[in-house]
């Protein structure tokens, strides 16, 4: 990692222990880095590293959403909205949440952490809200997408915009992209047309 950082300068490191239950720290650290070092950007996109995303479509959709700001305001998140989910009470589950950690029966609406877009205004609103800790939950609830795009967004008045019909969990939607790459179609024009054809109406 030190060699990577010295050579490319592309690593951002936080002062906390690496742990799955510390993803909320990473999540907010990423938003904070973007807010501090990308001040002129219109959007920041947060995505996991084990997914495929049609970035051309993402940019187009975010630009389209931007046109609606006059009616709904500049502070919004855009992605796959999770609604009506309840805490997992089975202690054998990876997603187990005790009644002590979360006493409620239903989570607020939030965006899946797979990939979502945020205006820079929204990113700063989330960071400011994180510093206030108004919620009865611990300062950093370990399910990071729920904590950041659910609780913090709700308390900060950040709107959630639904793009559920643009997401897919079926790997067969990626097969044509992989085949094009294997056939050596690597120029940017063919890549863009390949991605558009492959994903059709999907972002992820």
Rounded to an integer, what distance in angstroms lies between the CA atom of residue 185 and that of residue 180? 6
Residues 6+ away with beta carbon under 8 Å from 11: 1, 4, 5
- Stated pTM of the model: 0.80
> Which is more confidently placed, 136 or 104?
104
> Which is more confidently placed, 169 or 70?
169
Q: Are 118 and 78 in contact (CB under 8 A)?
A: yes
pLDDT band at 70 (very low <50, low <70, confident <90, very high): low
Q: Is 37 helix (H, G, I), strand (E, B) or coil?
A: helix
Tokens, residue 95: 């997603």
Tell me the average pLDDT of the chain. 83
**What is the model's pLDDT at position 80?**
95
Question: In this structure, what are the phi and psi dihedrals at residue 202, rounded to the nearest 5 degrees?
Answer: -115, 150
pLDDT tens for 5-49 read 899 988 888 888 888 888 998 999 999 999 999 999 999 999 998
């Amino acid at each position: 990692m030190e060699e990577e950082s010295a050579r490319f300068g592309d690593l951002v490191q936080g002062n906390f222990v690496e742990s799955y239950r510390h993803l909320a720290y990473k999540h907010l650290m990423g938003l904070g880095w973007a807010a501090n070092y990308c001040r002129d950007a219109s959007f920041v996109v947060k995505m996991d590293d084990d997914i495929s995303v049609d970035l051309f479509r993402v940019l187009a959709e975010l630009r389209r959403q931007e046109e609606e700001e006059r009616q709904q305001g500049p502070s919004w998140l855009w992605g796959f909205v999770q609604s009506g989910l309840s805490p997992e009470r089975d202690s054998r589950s990876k997603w187990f949440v005790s009644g002590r950690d979360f006493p409620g029966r239903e989570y607020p609406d939030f965006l899946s952490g797979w990939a979502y877009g945020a205006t820079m205004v929204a990113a700063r609103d989330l960071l400011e809200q994180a510093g206030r800790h108004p919620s009865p939950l611990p300062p950093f609830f370990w399910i990071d997408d729920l904590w950041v795009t659910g609780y913090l967004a709700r308390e900060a008045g950040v709107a959630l915009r639904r793009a559920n019909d643009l997401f897919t969990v079926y790997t067969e939607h990626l097969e044509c992209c992989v085949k094009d790459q294997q056939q050596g179609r690597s120029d940017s024009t063919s890549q863009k047309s390949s991605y558009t054809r492959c994903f059709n109406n999907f972002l992820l």
